[in-house]
Every structure is written in structure tokens, then in C-alpha cells.
Amino acid sequence: MSFAENSEFVRLEGTVLHAQCRDKHNNLHESSIDLDHILGNKDGHFDHHSSRFHESASICGLNHTTLVASLRKDGGGYRDAAIDLNTIIKNHNGKLEHAKRGFMETVRLGLHM
């Protein structure tokens, strides 16, 4: 189940995702997870096999549950990238956790940043 289905007040502060997450009794709990620990940058694309994406990112933000950023490419320059955080984050009984799934969605966007 995606974290967004049972979380509210989702926001990004720096590289930390915050949300009010429901537990199995439907109670809300404040929870957070540092996306920099679970996402990296591979040639201008978000990479779930590395970490510290912020070191090569500029203009980072959140659009609903999609993390968007301009990520540095290996050869120089930047690429607009996005990842649906529902593919890598879950709400486990009121706590945001890395879903540790074997896939990730990376999308190239034509954003004007």
C-alpha cells in the first residue's frame, strides 16, 4: 500500500519527507524519513541503489507525492527528474519507511525551473 493512501499533511523540508501517518487503529502519528539516505543520482536520474542525491541536485521540491529535482548529469549540465515516492516509501503502522521494493519509477519532465 502506498504511503499516501493513509497519510496526511505530506511535506518536504530539505531532504526530509514529513507526514501525519495513520496506524492500524486509524490514529495519526507524525513521521519523517530522510530521502537522502535512500535516493541517489545516477547520470541525472533518481537512483534507489545509492544515496545522497542532494549533493548533485538543485531546485528540489514536492508535487503531491512526486519528488522533483534538477539532477546533475555525468557529463555536466542538469536534467529534470521526478520519482513517485509511493514507489519507494510505505506507511507501516503510522511510520514512514523505505519500501525496499525492487523497482523505481523515474520520469523525465519538461519543467521550467
Model-wide pTM > 0.95:
no
The tally of CA atoms less than 13 A away on the side-chain side of residue 92 is: 9
pLDDT in tens, 54-84: 999 998 999 999 999 999 999 999 999 999 9
Is the distance from CB of 43 to CB of 73 less than 8 angstroms?
yes
Buried b (16+ CB within 10 A) or exposed e, 53-81: bbebbeebebeebbbbbbbbeeeeebebb
* Angstrom distance (rounded) from CA 86 to CA 8: 13
pLDDT in tens, 24-37: 999 999 999 999 99
